[in-house]
Chain A
């Protein structure tokens, strides 16, 4: 079992002693960077508005043409209620990825930020953990704001919105970790085009705008193997109050992403910067 092997290696990394204080110091650096420039705030704002605009244009606009969607349990929901949790999951993904890809890559390759940090007691694994924590915090700001919008527009019940929030944290961690691992392999900015393309394909086809049951079986199987599908299913299940054992399976998929991404990212940081 690959996931077991990865988990074991992760435990071994943790075993060498992870200091919460040092991880906190890595997060603290990013908080400091946030304060220093107005440009960062602009990026943050645009990250919040993007899924909101999709929700309005497609969820509400196209939704008026689509009509209502029947849920498995006999309930019937509006198209906007169907799309909103998917936009929530996508917003968690985008928030975390923005941090662990573009920002992370710049710090690793150009600003030599990690090189400076690794000359201190902070270890590669702690750098990875600190960066991922920060990515999750950013992602959490997006999803918290988006959930408020969903409740205000009556697209989710308040308690179910609250239940969906921790799930969005897990989504942020999962995509943040895998994105960070991928960033350590990037040679230059041109490689990010691939990432952006992958991200957008996931955004379109992960059961976000239509139920995957509407796809041909082969395509459905392909989609079911990709990560945003599991994120959307988990978040939507909680946001709509459709709780079942299946949600655990989706969560497990995301947990494996966190573990594998973190482990690989830490190992790559070590390889590249501590040669």
Chain B
């Protein structure tokens, strides 16, 4: 295997008394699409800021592109593309200038910057908006511009912090499609998300983070197989107290999880489990059989749902 682009051992980030990242190990190989999945405050963004060589680790080892961020920050950042959680596009510049100006920070000449900007405008489908200021753009367009901006230096590693948070479904799908193209070109992607569907769509491999630690690691499929069942039955009863029903469902499927509004029944065969529920004389007001998802994995690992 080629040398990993990211290598972390016992990585820690503290802010005063608060430990945001509490000793994590990870490795990301070239060409991989790697994800951090977890709720807000899990330590994903702090980890990303350390990987992007902006924030220095409080403890532990970190090597990015085989180099030490403490010593070679500028040289590493020259080969990274960073798309932050909140767009920080330049409001005083138009769309094209946002790209050309940014390219100059990486040492591109004026002519190189202009050529690169044209290419990226096309990639981000913003050619028609090239002379517009940033402010009037839609959320999806701004995000695409931020991602395009992260590509001005042809980075070896692209870091995306919650790339689609706050976007409408159509804009999300367009963005995923663009990111998928990058992946096909062999660009290594590292992203954070609290959306399961995003992780399943984009990531070859991911880690689940909770309270500053990594609680599970694998491909989306592996995680679902290891921590959930192939199918999940969602039962709603129109009652307040769902926990009382749990004993009645003992033995149906592999596990029962009562949530505030519904019961989750983990089973190999969802339809068989539903039949068993009815045979026991229970009459749920609604029944949904679905494939298991990363949301279930997360619930199982932490006892909490991802998006509160």
A112 within 8 A of B: yes
Of B73, B88, B149, which contacts A113 at CB under 8 A? B88
- B84 & A36 in contact (Cβ 8 Å cutoff): no
Per the bound structure, the CA–CA distance linking A29 and B101 in Å amounts to: 6
Closest approach, in angstroms, between the C-beta of A247 and any C-beta of chain B? 38
B94 within 8 A of A: yes
B243 within 8 A of A: no
Per the bound structure, the CA–CA distance linking A122 and B106 in Å amounts to: 8
Identify which of A21, A25, A111, A115 gathers the most chain B CB atoms within 10 Å of its CB.
Answer: A25
Binds A, one of B51-59, B180-188, B260-268, B282-290: B51-59
- A118 & B93 in contact (Cβ 8 Å cutoff): no
A33 within 8 A of B: yes
- B90 & A22 in contact (Cβ 8 Å cutoff): no
Task: Using A123-B74, A274-B55 as known contacts, say yes or no to A22 and B105 having CB atoms under 8 A apart.
Answer: yes
Q: Which residues of A contact B88 (CB under 8 A)?
A: 111-113, 115-116
- A121 & B101 in contact (Cβ 8 Å cutoff): no
| A63-115 contacts to B (CB < 8 Å) | 111-113, 115
Closest approach, in angstroms, between the C-beta of A173 and any C-beta of chain B? 23
B92 within 8 A of A: yes
Of A17, A24, A33, which contacts B90 at CB under 8 A? A33
Chain A residue at smallest Cβ distance from B88: A112
Of A21, A25, A111, which contacts B91 at CB under 8 A? A111
Per the bound structure, the CA–CA distance linking A36 and B133 in Å amounts to: 9
Closest approach, in angstroms, between the C-beta of B251 and any C-beta of chain A? 52
Of A22, A28, A112, A274, which contacts B101 at CB under 8 A? A28
- B106 & A119 in contact (Cβ 8 Å cutoff): no
A117 within 8 A of B: yes
Q: Which residues of B contact A115 (CB under 8 A)?
A: 84, 88
Chain B residue at smallest Cβ distance from A275: B55
Per the bound structure, the CA–CA distance linking A215 and B75 in Å amounts to: 56
Chain B 74-97 interface 0/1 with A at a Cβ cutoff of 8 Å (1 = within): 110110101010101111111001
| A12-44 contacts to B (CB < 8 Å) | 17, 19, 21-22, 24-26, 28-29, 32-33, 36-37
| A99-151 contacts to B (CB < 8 Å) | 111-113, 115-123
B107 within 8 A of A: yes
Q: Which residues of A contact B94 (CB under 8 A)?
A: 36
Q: Which residues of B contact A121 (CB under 8 A)?
A: 74-75, 77-78, 105-107
Closest approach, in angstroms, between the C-beta of A36 and any C-beta of chain B? 5
- A32 & B84 in contact (Cβ 8 Å cutoff): no
Chain A residue at smallest Cβ distance from B106: A120
Binding site for A on B (CB under 8 A): 15, 52, 54-56, 73-75, 77-78, 80, 82, 84, 86, 88-94, 97, 101-102, 104-107, 133, 149, 153
5 other A-B residue contacts (CB within 8 Å) besides A118-B54, A121-B105: A28-B101, A29-B90, A116-B90, A120-B78, A123-B73
In the A-B complex, the 9 residue pairs with the closest CB atoms: A33-B92, A112-B88, A120-B105, A25-B104, A121-B74, A119-B82, A116-B88, A121-B78, A25-B105
Q: Could you name 27 residue pairs across A and B whose Cβ atoms are closer than 8 Å?
A: A19-B107, A22-B105, A22-B107, A25-B101, A26-B105, A28-B104, A33-B93, A36-B94, A36-B97, A36-B133, A111-B90, A112-B86, A112-B88, A115-B84, A116-B88, A116-B149, A119-B54, A119-B84, A120-B78, A120-B106, A120-B153, A121-B75, A121-B77, A121-B105, A122-B105, A274-B55, A275-B55
